[in-house]
Chains A and B, each alone.
Chain A
Amino acid sequence: MAINPELTGRNYPAGGTYVVGREKIREFALAVKATHPAHFDVSAAQELGYADVVAPPTFAIIVAQRADAKLIEDPDSGIDFSRVVHAEQRFTHHRPIVAGDVLKAALTVDSVRAMGGGAMITTRAEISTEAGVAVATTTSMILVRGEDQ
């Protein structure tokens, strides 16, 4: 199935919320071999001026990829997940993610570019608090390989 060229501009509003757990931040920090004490120790985070442990710079990928899943799982998108390759990623932090945050992510498909039998798709997740305060903007470019790629 070909990628739907009319995906560009499509929005997937925030569904549920993501509650940032202290142990999840510690688990993710260990997994990316992050060692700063502010990821693990509440008092070290408080010394930097935060209420609780702070997330490593790429933690928002968890929230962003949950938002991306809405597009990938949309039967109308034509995306075969087994043919998806991550091509580019960017995080712009408006403020740090801290344990206890309740986040939501609204996804927009910024562009779809046909490439051979496949496509390059750029998505943007606007991550905010439940109250709508901007936390991070993430953009991902994925390559969906065609049958011959």
Chain B
Amino acid sequence: MAIELESLEKGATIGVRSIPVTRADLVQYAGASGDFNPIHWNEDFAMSVDLPGVIAHGMFTMGAAVQLVTDWAGDPTAIIDYQTRFTKPVPVANSFDVPGAEIEVSGVVGAIDAENSTVRVDLTVVAGGVKVLAKAQAVVRLK
């Protein structure tokens, strides 16, 4: 891994990433994860439980957002801890060939633990101008 603990500063950016999302992505995530809750693919059902429409799986957003950290760390297995709160839903509009939502991810160095050689990355995850995750934190072990 190219990252050196000494070169890191708290608050420094690790980058930004934009993730276009379509309803096909939600169907794909449902199949891959086994989470077939109809709020993620059936508009009528989603509205019947007082949602604005079909929403992304929280775990889709969490899973896709962490790629920014993987890219930074250069190794997905360096992420030894990852947590978040799901604060707001990500509505995904019914569209074809154009994204039904856009998830914007940015990350900063939140804490440096020199003793354990780990870095906490704090992610900000926004969709439609609204923060959809809170306390999204990934702990990366540096080799």
Residues of A near any B CB (own CB < 8 A): 24, 27-28, 30-36, 38-39, 48, 50, 54, 56-58, 61-62, 65-66, 82-83, 85-93, 96
Other A-B pairs beyond A36-B71, A50-B77, 16, CB < 8 Å: A27-B31, A27-B32, A31-B60, A34-B63, A35-B67, A39-B76, A54-B77, A57-B63, A61-B59, A62-B34, A83-B49, A86-B86, A87-B86, A88-B86, A92-B81, A93-B77
**B139 — nearest CB in chain A belongs to which residue?**
A92
Q: B25 to chain A: closest CB distance in Å?
A: 8
Q: Which residues of B contact A48 (CB under 8 A)?
A: 75, 77
Which B residues between 54 and 90 are near A, CB-CB below 8 angstroms?
58-60, 62-64, 66-67, 69-71, 75-77, 79-86
Q: Which residues of B contact A50 (CB under 8 A)?
A: 77
Q: Is the CB of A57 within 8 A of B79?
A: yes
Given A88-B86, A92-B80, A93-B81, A31:B31 Cβ within 8 A: yes
| Interface SS of B by simple majority | helix
Per CB-CB distance, the 9 closest pairs between chain A and chain B, nearest first, are A32-B63, A31-B32, A90-B83, A96-B77, A58-B63, A57-B79, A31-B29, A86-B58, A28-B32
Is B35's CB under 8 angstroms from A57's CB?
no
A66 to B81, CA, bound (A): 21
